[in-house]
Amino acid sequence: MKKNLIAATILTTAILIVASITAIAAYYPNLLANSTPTGPEEEQSNKQLDVAIAYAYAGERTSNNSITGDNGANLYAVTQYPSAVILNTTLLGRSHFSSCDAFIEIYRIQFKTDTNQTENYFYTMGTNYKPSFSPSEFVSLQNSVVNFTVRQSSIGTIGPFKFNMTENSSILSLPLGSQGAYTSIPGGDGLWQEGKPNTITVTAQRIGVLTISNGAVTAQEDDLNTAPITSVNLKAYGTGFLYNEIVPTSTLESIDLFYPIKYGPNS
């Protein structure tokens, strides 16, 4: 399996739930937090972040179908036709959350085919506004993310928390999807479960916002009728489907389409 390198300035928290369409193996701490009722509709449409889909690919697996786990057990790829999406997230401004010490927005990312096959994931992104935001406060905020997402119906959670992010700055996510996901039960064909699809759409929609002030966390669950949303249509490429805004077309044939860019201080 590939190891993703992360820039030293970014603290990435990954709470990964590995699953297939027919079998889910969940891994997350048993953490609890309180949440508050959904906020007013005008607040739900307001956003701190602009989350754009920069790249997405779904197609036939190019890596091993199985690996050996830490305990020596065989682990199997959750699907023979995995997916990967990369998001470009920009901090827009402090808006009505400016009084909080830090925040995290939570997005549901969905792959959907014309054959009604879907894969759902979470993406979380946040930053602090209080310069002295402490590690213990961060843990409290992140624990609440676990509680919020465990109650939802999606496969996994992954996303960064970038300390002291500046307004209008952007960050690319790590690849998010079923590529690199393994389980103890042999997987199926995923998005190809009903045969090769004709079209694949990827959607990113915010489903909630968590804020922390003076150590107290508030959770806002969005009304999906008004929450920010964006989507792209993947086009047929080789044996799979591709949407690409970040990789030169001339390099596509020479790269791993599931991991199109490098990460790290020297990338």
- Percent of the chain topping pLDDT 90: 56
Residue 165 pLDDT? 92
Q: What total of structural domains would you count in the chain? A: 1
CB-neighbour burial class of residue 115 (10 A; exposed 0-12, middle 13-18, buried 19+): middle
**Tens-place pLDDT, residues 17-41:** 222 222 222 222 222 223 333 343 4
How far is residue 229's CA from residue 57's CA, in Å, rounded to a whole number? Answer: 19
How far is residue 198's CA from residue 235's CA, in Å, rounded to a whole number? Answer: 9
Q: What is the mean pLDDT of residues 41-53?
A: 71
* CA nearest to 83, candidates 56, 120, 113: 56
Confidence of residue 263 (pLDDT cuts 50, 70, 90): low
- Partner residues linked to 240 by β-bridges: 237
Q: Burial letters for 174-192: b for 16+ Cβ neighbours within 10 Å, e otherwise?
A: bbbbbbbbbbeebbbbbbb
Structure tokens at 96: 């009505």
Residue 192 pLDDT? 97
Q: Examine residue 260 and state whether it is found in any structural domain, yes or no.
A: no
Structure tokens at 149: 């997402």
Is the pLDDT assigned to residue 13 strictly greater than 80? no
Q: Examine residue 5 and state whether it is found in any structural domain, yes or no.
A: no
Going from the C-alpha of 65 to that of each of 50, 81, 87, the distances in angstroms are 36, 11, 26
Q: Examine residue 163 and state whether it is found in any structural domain, yes or no.
A: yes
The H-assigned helical ranges of 67-220 are: 135-150
201's enclosing H/E stretch is strand 200-213
pTM of the model: 0.79
Q: What is the mean pLDDT of residues 78-95?
A: 90
The more confidently predicted of residues 158 and 247 is: 247
**Tens-place pLDDT, residues 105-158:** 999 999 999 999 999 999 999 999 999 999 999 999 988 888 887 766 555 566
How far is residue 191's CA from residue 143's CA, in Å, rounded to a whole number? Answer: 31
Q: Examine residue 72 and state whether it is found in any structural domain, yes or no.
A: yes
Determine contact, residues 109/95, Cβ cutoff 8 Å. Answer: no
The domain of 201 spans 18-246
How far is residue 207's CA from residue 107's CA, in Å, rounded to a whole number? Answer: 5
Going from the C-alpha of 7 to that of each of 12, 43, 136, 157, the distances in angstroms are 9, 33, 22, 19
- Which residues, 6 or more positions from 114, have their beta carbon under 8 angstroms from its beta carbon? 197, 198, 199, 200
Going from the C-alpha of 35 to that of each of 39, 180, 213, 217, 257, the distances in angstroms are 11, 32, 14, 8, 39
Q: Examine residue 251 and state whether it is found in any structural domain, yes or no.
A: no
The more confidently predicted of residues 248 and 17 is: 248
Q: Examine residue 210 and state whether it is found in any structural domain, yes or no.
A: yes
Residue 154 pLDDT? 53
Q: Examine residue 267 and state whether it is found in any structural domain, yes or no.
A: no
Q: Examine residue 83 and state whether it is found in any structural domain, yes or no.
A: yes
